[in-house]
Amino acid sequence: MNAAGQLTDVSGWVVRARASRALALRELVHVGDERLIGEVIALDHDLATVQVYEETEGLAPGDPLFSTGEPLTIELGPGLLGTIYDGVQRPLAALARDGGDFIGRGAHAFALDRERIWSFEPKAREGEEVLGGITLGFVQETPALRHPTLVPPDVRGIVTFLSPAGPLRVDDPVATIERDGMVKTITMVQRWRARVPRPIRARLPIAQPLVTGQRVLDTFFPLLRGSAAAMPGGFGTGKTVTQQQLCRWADADVIVFVGCGERGNEMTQLVRELPELIDPRTQRLLAERTVLIANTSNMPVSAREASIFTGVTIGEYYRDLGFHVLLLADSISRWAEALREISGRLEEMPAEEGYPPYLSSALAAFYERAGCVTTLGGAEGSLTLISAISPPAGDLTEPVTRHAQRFVRTFWTLDRQLAQARVFPAVSMSASYSELPTANPARDDALAFVEEANRIEETARLVGVESLPDRERFLLRLSEVFREGFLQQSAYDEIDAFCAPERQAALLALFLYVRRRGLELLEHQKPLAKILALPLMTNLQRSKSARELPTIAALEEELGSC
Amino acid sequence: MLKSAAGVERSGLANIRGALAFVEIEGAYAPAFHEEVEVVGSDGTLRRGRVLSASARGVVVEIFAATEGLQLDASRVRFRGHPIRFGVGPELLGRVFDGTGAPRDDLPPPPAVEMRSIGGSPINPVRRAYPRDFLETGVSSIDALNSIVLGQKIPIFTESGLPHDELAMQIVRQAHAPGVEKFAIVFCALGLPRQTAQRYLDDFVATGARSRLVAFLNLADDPTAERLIAPRCALTAAEYLAFDCGYHVLVVLHDITNYGEALREISAARGEIPSRKGYPGYLYSDLASIFERAGRIEGRPGSLTQIPIVTLPSGDMSHPIPDLTGYVTEGQIVLDRTLWRRGVKPPVAVLSSLSRLMSDGIGAGRTREDHADVARQLYASVAHVERARSLAAIIGSDELTEIERTYLAFGERFERELVSQRSDESRSIDETLTIAWNLLSTLPRGELTRIRDEFVTKYLPS
């Protein structure tokens, strides 16, 4: 590594240096004698502007700048799962081992453990001609995931050596590939530029639902594999809890959770719980299929900006291995704010609310990395993105929410009033939408029911419940039961925390049945009081936590007694 | 860390405006970013400050003291060779400092075992311990419905004229946790009127809390720039007490709104591009660098709990300061003027208040097995009360159904018996839950849908 310049200005984590004209834009550099990590973000004659991913206190003009000749890259390979990284992919456990309880400066550690031994089983053959994306062999990364080692996207040729079955470290040679007399050694570690999307063979149409186990989401505002969703909500509306629920229960092979500028204690809760949580479908540990990226709000803002790309690149890598990946980003607003801070430090002309004019294209570049694809190797994989948005003052007309809406097709708005009444997940029925098809044919009927009940409630607020006709009073009461018994879902209840699609449909059918039959009974002049007094009106509220749902026949028996 | 020799001196300022001065640099010495400086005027007065930005041409210096009377050529600037530091040591308790960490109690500085940079370092998330130990404040509306745990950060959102000082003092007086003896308080006044700060100090003296207190006072007429470092000095002391000495430290930061205003003032003076309402774009990150210093660390006995006080500007919770505070902190205790007018003291609005770390800090072995269910039921019932009240306001309470009227009565009693509390009254969590069950017993049994039957059978008074 060579000294490539000297600092001239230090003001926060954007520094300027008089530097060699050989530096490249987006090149990874090291700053000062402590070798802090930085990235070149602008070049002007012999002046380089660098964003530093660590605290810059103590840097002074005249301090050296070192060139690495490489862009900021992400290390990809077995060992990512179950590891917790910071925004620039330093493993936090290794940093703690070397540096203690607080994150110091100038710490370096390999993203993938160089000492760990993997048991490699070859699949390709020596003498075979291979292209990028072809599987050379496998290692069992975790009990839940068999990790193929692929030929890197930019490599092709004849396999001249392939490692036999046996123990390998990640940087041991797996194969050599020869082309036109040039020999390339392939290891399990691939490096990929964080800001460049990985290549694929083709995009596939988006069609498979991604089951989250959350009734209000799956039934009313579904998400498909390979699509993108945004979840705006003011503070205290349960964004984080909802994200953590999705992290636990969503039907994906691999989960990448990016804690982007959020709370340390909550990140820790996830870190502590994850090793113990059991995947409801496979009965295996969730940690075996999860990568965590933790950039808490007090870590350097520049690393927060990078953390999203670190996460997306890891997500795309597992997609390219042929898995269905879900990436959760909490929150994309903090990332946008990091962009704003960088832009401000560069003294760029701001657009709305101080955000840079390229906010929209930056968001587009993120959301467009979602997709369902045929990989270079011919497998099918997908990357689904769910991003929390923290709109200032809960205002959905602010720039980040507004721009995000143009790129996502599923939009889950969290509502403060619901949250204050402790109705979680606090997904607003009126301000959320999904343009994607739902698997449940009863959805539209149910949505109409909720809509009508809302209208009745408005009226009731003006004239009082007593003044409403029986029909409306019945619907109003039933909608309360529905809100509590269907829309609300407890993250802490053993049975209720995850609701399979079949169960969602069955539960919804019960409510719709009671609605239809209740209205029929009223038409046949049965007394409202008697219907409302039926035990089923309270039982339906609790059925969600019961192992067995009531049958239609049992409901009919009660209703028939009126 | 700063490799320059300590105490390099330059004479002359190129310009000075408010708290910011520009010093031209010639020669070999290059001052570092955030390096501590001392500016000595022609009158011999020493003013502390730090480097805000450093370039080859010169440095911008932020001065933490009044700059009136400073001249350009006659001033001398001493670069100290290290960032702003605070000396930590075992004799901190009982002392009063100013916002820069200099003694304000006419005593010599306490002996320091270590000089620590006040900026602190982020706790590695994998080394944090997840806070789960219940902190009993003795205040029912907090303990029952917004339970706080050791290591949490939870602000009090209030308005001018509401009794947040009484509530904060009551919490400081009463707060305890089972099995915890080493308790310390760090009080940090940020732009507080002298009288208010004095009330706190007097109360600490009167209740004997003074011996386990460290106070940092930046008063309303103290320099604005000092306000930006006062909380960082306070937290450096608190971190030492918590993570080096094993104390459970309760930090009261009062008032964050003044801190935000100071940040805006300095930002504007630097000519930075503002975002919302003139506040700098980094307000969130800056607040986070304060609040995120709360927590617990795996394998270390102490904890650092923060109760910042945020006065809502014109009662507006969507103002950038409370809004961004809410995004960093783990919930909020909201004081409400309407409740206050109705005579409810402390006027804690239970529905808009929230403690995010509550669910894991309560229950069997922590508070009581029925706590979570009771809290859920109270939220639901109080939400129902609100609906009944807004209905009653439109159609009159006579027109309400019987059940709605029951809820109205429940709401009255809830505010009078559970939320209202004398400021010298400390209720144990058992007493608080007993009050809650008595209230719930006034509702029809069928309304208690959030409580498991076994608890209803066990605890509901007949």
**Tokens 């997306």, located at residue:** A312
- Domain of A498, CATH number, reads 1.10.1140.10
Sign (positive or negative) of CA dihedral A51, A52, A56, A58: negative
Backbone angles phi, psi at A30, to 5 degrees: -115, 140
DSSP for A466-518? GGS-HHHHHHHHHHHHHIIIII---SS-TTTT---HHHHHHHHHHHHHHHHHH
Give tens-digit pLDDT for A400-414: 999 999 999 999 999
- Among residues A181, A136, A190, A182, the alpha carbon closest in space to that of A163 is found at A136
d(CA A256, CA A267): 13
Q: How far is CA B139 from the centre of its chain?
A: 18
Verify that A81 and A127 share a domain, yes or no: no
- Domain of A143, CATH number, reads 2.40.50.100
If you average pLDDT over every residue of chain B, what do you get?
Answer: 92
A54 touches chain B (CB under 8 A): no
Work out the minimum CA distance from A88 to partner chain B, whole angstroms. Answer: 14
Amino acid residing at A457: E
Check A62 against B121: CB less than 8 A apart.
no
**Residue B4 pLDDT more than 50?**
no
What's the mean pLDDT in A385-404? 92
**Of the residues A157, A188, A219, which one is the last residue of a structural domain?**
A188
A62 touches chain B (CB under 8 A): yes
pLDDT at position B23: 93
d(CA B245, CA A559): 67
d(CA A104, CA A95): 9
Contacts with B412 (C-beta within 8 Å, 6 or more apart), sequence order: none
Work out the minimum CA distance from B53 to partner chain A, whole angstroms. Answer: 4
Residue A375 DSSP SS3: coil
Verify that A360 and A254 share a domain, yes or no: yes
pLDDT tier at A248 (50, 70, 90 boundaries)? confident
**Residue A4 pLDDT more than 90?**
no
Verify that A122 and A235 share a domain, yes or no: no
**Residue B453 pLDDT more than 70?**
yes
Number of residue pairs across A and B with CB atoms under 8 Å? 232
pLDDT at position B2: 42
Per-range mean pLDDT, top range of A377-386, B23-32, B385-394: A377-386
Least CB–CB distance from A298: residue in B122, B394, B401: B122
Verify that A312 and A365 share a domain, yes or no: yes
Q: Is A484 in contact with A537 (CB distance < 8 Å)? A: no
What's chain A's length in residues? 562
Amino acid residing at A380: E
Verify that A237 and A377 share a domain, yes or no: yes
d(CA B166, CA B200): 9
Verify that A466 and A418 share a domain, yes or no: no
> Where does residue A232 fall: left (phi above 0), alpha (psi -120 to 50 degrees), or beta otherwise?
beta
Backbone angles phi, psi at A21, to 5 degrees: -75, 0
CA atoms within 13 A on the CB side of A126: 8
Complex ipTM over 0.85: yes
Residue A133 falls inside a structural domain: yes
pLDDT tier at B357 (50, 70, 90 boundaries)? very high
Q: Is B281 in contact with B275 (CB distance < 8 Å)? A: yes
Verify that A460 and A539 share a domain, yes or no: yes
d(CA B449, CA B402): 18
pTM for the structure as a whole: 0.91
Verify that A235 and A309 share a domain, yes or no: yes
DSSP state of A425: S
A553 touches chain B (CB under 8 A): no
Work out the minimum CA distance from A386 to partner chain B, whole angstroms. Answer: 19
Least CB–CB distance from B32: residue in A58, A236, A541: A58
Residue A89 DSSP SS3: coil
B282 chain-A contacts, CB cut-off 8 A: 301, 341, 344
Amino acid residing at B259: Y
d(CA B143, CA B427): 9
Q: Is A231 in contact with A244 (CB distance < 8 Å)? A: no
From the number of C-beta atoms within 10 Å of its C-beta (0-12, 13-18, 19+), residue B270 rates as: middle
CA atoms within 13 A on the CB side of A417: 7
Preceding amide of A343 cis, omega within 30: no
Residue A195 falls inside a structural domain: no
d(CA A460, CA A469): 11
Give tens-digit pLDDT for A27-43: 999 999 999 999 999 99
pLDDT tier at A1 (50, 70, 90 boundaries)? low
**Cα–Cα distance list, A55 to A31, A484, B32, B437 (Å):** 11, 48, 13, 52
- Among residues A303, A364, A266, A338, the alpha carbon closest in space to that of A103 is found at A303
Domains along chain B with CATH numbers: 8-83 (2.40.10.170), 86-361 (3.40.50.12240), 371-459 (no CATH)
Percent residues over pLDDT 90 in chain B: 79
Work out the minimum CA distance from B205 to partner chain A, whole angstroms. Answer: 33
If you average pLDDT over every residue of chain A, what do you get?
Answer: 92
B352 touches chain A (CB under 8 A): yes
Least CB–CB distance from B33: residue in A10, A297, A341: A10
Backbone angles phi, psi at A136, to 5 degrees: -90, -30
Residue of A nearest to B274 (CA): A354
What's the mean pLDDT in A492-505? 90
pLDDT at position A76: 97
Q: Is A171 in contact with A341 (CB distance < 8 Å)? A: no
How many structural domains is chain A composed of? 4
Which of residues A131 and B29 earns the better pLDDT score?
A131
Kind and range of the H or E element at A434?
A: strand A433-434
d(CA B99, CA B219): 9
**Of the residues A152, A168, A188, which one is the last residue of a structural domain?**
A188
Give tens-digit pLDDT for B230-287: 999 999 999 999 999 999 999 999 999 999 999 999 999 888 888 888 999 889 999 9
- Domain of A92, CATH number, reads 3.40.50.300
Range name among A71-80, A377-386, A529-538 with the lowest pLDDT average: A529-538
Verify that A469 and A549 share a domain, yes or no: yes
Residue B267 DSSP SS3: helix
Give tens-digit pLDDT for A58-108: 999 999 999 999 898 999 999 999 999 999 999 999 999 988 999 988 888
- Among residues A504, A495, A510, A508, the alpha carbon closest in space to that of A550 is found at A510
CA atoms within 13 A on the CB side of A230: 28
pLDDT tier at A548 (50, 70, 90 boundaries)? very high
Q: Is A65 in contact with A19 (CB distance < 8 Å)? A: yes
pLDDT at position B6: 55
Which structural domain, as residue segments, surrounds residue A158? 118-188
**Of the residues A12, A39, A71, which one is the last residue of a structural domain?**
A71
What's the mean pLDDT in B388-408? 87
- Domain of A30, CATH number, reads 2.40.30.20
A340 chain-B contacts, CB cut-off 8 A: 275, 281
pLDDT at position B22: 94
Percent residues over pLDDT 70 in chain B: 99
DSSP for B377-407? HHHHHHHHHHHHHHHHHHH-GGGS-HHHHHH
Backbone angles phi, psi at A332, to 5 degrees: -70, -20
Kind and range of the H or E element at A66?
A: strand A64-71
Pure H helices in B396-446: 402-413, 429-440
What's the mean pLDDT in B202-222? 92
> Where does residue A142 fall: left (phi above 0), alpha (psi -120 to 50 degrees), or beta otherwise?
beta
Percent residues over pLDDT 90 in chain A: 71
Kind and range of the H or E element at A97?
A: helix A92-99
Tell me whether strands B76-83 and B58-63 are parallel, antiparallel or unpaired.
Answer: unpaired
Verify that A61 and A178 share a domain, yes or no: no
Verify that A177 and A211 share a domain, yes or no: no
pLDDT tier at B1 (50, 70, 90 boundaries)? very low
Check B395 against A92: CB less than 8 A apart.
no
Residue A544 falls inside a structural domain: yes
What's the mean pLDDT in A228-257? 89
Both structure tokens of A319:
């997609």
Residues 392-411 of B with CB under 8 A from A: 394-395, 399-401, 404
pLDDT tier at B71 (50, 70, 90 boundaries)? very high
Range name among A457-466, B46-55, B134-143 with the lowest pLDDT average: A457-466
Work out the minimum CA distance from B42 to partner chain A, whole angstroms. Answer: 28
Give tens-digit pLDDT for B282-322: 899 999 999 999 999 999 999 999 999 999 998 898 899 99
Q: Which residues pair with A71 in a beta bridge?
A: A27
pLDDT tier at B3 (50, 70, 90 boundaries)? very low
pLDDT at position A429: 92
Work out the minimum CA distance from B8 to partner chain A, whole angstroms. Answer: 14
B151 touches chain A (CB under 8 A): yes
- Across B25-108, the runs of DSSP E, i.e. the strands, are 35-40, 46-55, 58-63, 76-83, 85-88, 96-98
Check A11 against B399: CB less than 8 A apart.
no
Backbone angles phi, psi at B161, to 5 degrees: 90, -5
Verify that A326 and A371 share a domain, yes or no: yes
Residue A98 DSSP SS3: helix
Contacts with A386 (C-beta within 8 Å, 6 or more apart), sequence order: A223, A228, A229, A230, A231, A243, A246, A326, A327, A328, A329
Residue A481 falls inside a structural domain: yes
Residues 245-284 of B with CB under 8 A from A: 272-276, 280-282, 284
B300 touches chain A (CB under 8 A): yes
**Residue B429 pLDDT more than 90?**
yes
Q: Is A265 in contact with B249 (CB distance < 8 Å)? A: no
Residue A182 falls inside a structural domain: yes
Residue A260 falls inside a structural domain: yes
